[in-house]
């Protein structure tokens, strides 16, 4: 979930797009946000229901997408046909795929808050033209805070001497936990880019899970039962064509985050937390320093390189001179005043007071935050170890290490966007 930056401080989107799209075209470039930000008249509602888990009215709104251009659709249809031939040899001439188009699908809470945005492809098979497959485009991260979480998180764990290369190529397992599901674009992106990633996803609201699968093209095979088994004993025969095995490394649990982490037995290499309710509130039990959640989370992190990334709303640029939130915005932007407390709680509980301090000695872990470009969010990163070496730790030392590792991350994952803009903006060490 995110807050958009104030109009007075927004940047020229076309200029931003020109500056960052240098390699593979990024279909999630913020330049295209005009297609899905829009207003209610620009799209049509494809799902709408009321949550009993505090999220109010949950809806999914569809908007047309200009990319990829229709001229590229036959190439994708050919790729799907080749995938089908690989899985069903000898039957390739009996099945043909046709693309109907691409759409943005926006998950909203209470018709107001844009919780997440994904891009889906709609396609059908000639043998069953009445059934349309919705497939979320795993390579597309549409919202800047998600790119910030990916950039900072992966650059950090790479800086902890974690063997990211072998994880990316499937030669070792990377255990990832995502708390808060939304449309599922973050776990799907990680599983698609990192062949060794086994991703556990925790979402408290069954309606959000249903919305992501029914209307946002997230793979249904990922759904888990309370007993820890797959809800579907085996994937549909077409799943392997559409997902190429990605769906088998996603495990989506309907659970309270605190309950899940207390009962977890895995050691996680990375944890991503993006959990806001229908009132735009990050539950206090997920950041209270005395909560059982944070203490249990610390025990479930790999002791050498375990890395946590938290998405926070950061409304500091609209505070009054005395640091308070203007009364007219207090209810609209409720999280901003807690950001510093959240940062301190995660740092103290996960890495302790012996972690690095700006201008101090290197400790056993690191905590820092960065501002997210173009929206009012902050990415908080806490890791158990950081490969800078001994001596005095400075902000510039941390930043230079992260930037150096980010180039490796970009190359090995073949990212369509640069990590650097998401590392350089307002980085501060949490003391």
* Alpha carbons 259 and 288: distance in angstroms, whole number: 15
Q: What is the mean pLDDT of the chain?
A: 86
Which residue ranges does the chain devote to CATH 3.40.50.150? 144-429
Q: What are the beta bridge partners of residue 206? A: none
| Alpha helices per DSSP H over 37-184 | 73-87, 144-159, 164-168
Residue tagged 């077409």 (tokens): 238
Instruction: Annotate 12-31 with b (16+ C-beta within 10 A) or e (fewer).
Output: eeeebeeebeeeeebbbbbb
Tokens at residue 106, please? 């926006």
CB atoms within 10 A of CB 147: 28
CB atoms within 10 A of CB 344: 15
Instruction: Give me the pLDDT at residue 389, please.
Output: 58
When the candidates are 3.30.1370.60, 3.20.20.140, 3.40.50.2300, 3.40.50.150, the CATH number that belongs to 144-429 is: 3.40.50.150
The crossing angle, in degrees rounded to 10, of helices 144-159 and 395-413 is: 100
Collapsing DSSP to helix, strand or coil, 334 comes out as coil
CB 17 within 8 A of CB 30: yes
pLDDT at 64 over 90: yes
Instruction: Give me the pLDDT at residue 69, please.
Output: 94
First-to-last alpha carbon distance for the chain, in angstroms, is 27
CA R_g for the chain:
21
- In terms of Cα–Cα distance, which of 325, 429, 410, 417 is closest to 370? 429
Instruction: Give me the pLDDT at residue 376, please.
Output: 85
How many residues are present in the chain?
Answer: 431
Burial of 236 (0-12, 13-18, 19+ CB in 10 A): middle
What is the per-residue DSSP string for 282-308?
--GGGT-TT-HHHHHHHHTB-TTT-EE
pLDDT at 172 over 90: yes
**What is the tens place of the pLDDT at every residue in 355-399?**
444 333 344 689 999 999 988 899 999 999 886 555 567 899 999
Helix (H) or strand (E) holding 403: helix 395-413
pLDDT at 347 over 50: yes
Quote the percentage of the chain above a pLDDT of 90: 72
Average pLDDT over residues 340-357: 81
Backbone phi, then psi, for 183, in 5-degree steps?
A: -80, -10
């Amino acid at each position: 979930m995110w807050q958009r930056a104030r109009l007075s401080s927004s940047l020229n989107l076309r200029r931003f797009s020109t500056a960052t799209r240098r390699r593979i075209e990024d279909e999630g470039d913020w330049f295209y946000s005009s297609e899905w930000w829009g207003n209610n008249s620009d799209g049509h509602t494809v799902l709408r229901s009321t949550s009993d888990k505090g999220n109010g009215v949950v809806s999914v709104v569809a908007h047309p997408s200009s990319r990829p251009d229709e001229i590229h659709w036959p190439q994708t249809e050919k790729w799907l046909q080749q995938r089908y031939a690989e899985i069903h040899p000898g039957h390739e001439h009996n099945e043909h795929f046709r693309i109907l188009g691409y759409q943005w699908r926006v998950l909203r809470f209470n018709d107001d808050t844009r919780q997440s945005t994904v891009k889906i492809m709609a396609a059908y098979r000639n043998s069953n033209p009445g059934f349309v497959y919705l497939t979320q485009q795993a390579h597309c991260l549409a919202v800047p805070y998600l790119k910030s979480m990916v950039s900072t998180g992966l650059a950090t764990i790479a800086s902890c001497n974690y063997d990211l290369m072998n994880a990316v190529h499937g030669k070792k397992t990377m255990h990832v936990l995502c708390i808060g599901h939304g449309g599922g674009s973050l776990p799907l992106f990680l599983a698609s880019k990192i062949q060794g990633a086994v991703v556990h996803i925790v979402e408290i609201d069954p309606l959000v899970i249903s919305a992501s699968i029914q209307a946002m093209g997230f793979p249904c095979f990922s759904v888990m039962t309370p007993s820890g088994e797959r809800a579907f004993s085996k994937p549909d025969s077409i799943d392997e064509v559409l997902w190429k095995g990605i769906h088998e490394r996603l495990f989506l649990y309907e659970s309270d985050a605190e309950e899940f982490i207390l009962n977890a037995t895995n050691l996680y290499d990375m944890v991503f937390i993006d959990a806001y309710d229908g009132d735009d509130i990050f539950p206090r039990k997920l950041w209270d320093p005395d909560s059982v959640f944070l203490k249990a989370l610390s025990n479930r992190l790999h002791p050498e390189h375990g890395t946590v990334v938290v998405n926070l709303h950061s409304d500091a640029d609209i505070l009054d001179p005395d640091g308070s939130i203007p009364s007219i915005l207090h209810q609209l932007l409720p999280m901003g005043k807690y950001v510093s407390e959240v940062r301190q709680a995660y740092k103290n509980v996960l890495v302790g007071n012996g972690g690095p301090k700006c201008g101090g000695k290197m400790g056993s872990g690191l905590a820092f935050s960065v501002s997210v470009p173009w929206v009012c969010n902050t990415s908080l990163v806490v890791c158990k170890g950081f490969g800078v070496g001994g001596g005095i730790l400075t902000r510039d030392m941390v930043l230079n290490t992260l930037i150096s590792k980010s180039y490796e991350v970009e190359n090995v994952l073949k990212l369509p966007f640069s990590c650097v803009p998401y590392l350089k903006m307002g980085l501060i060490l949490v003391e």
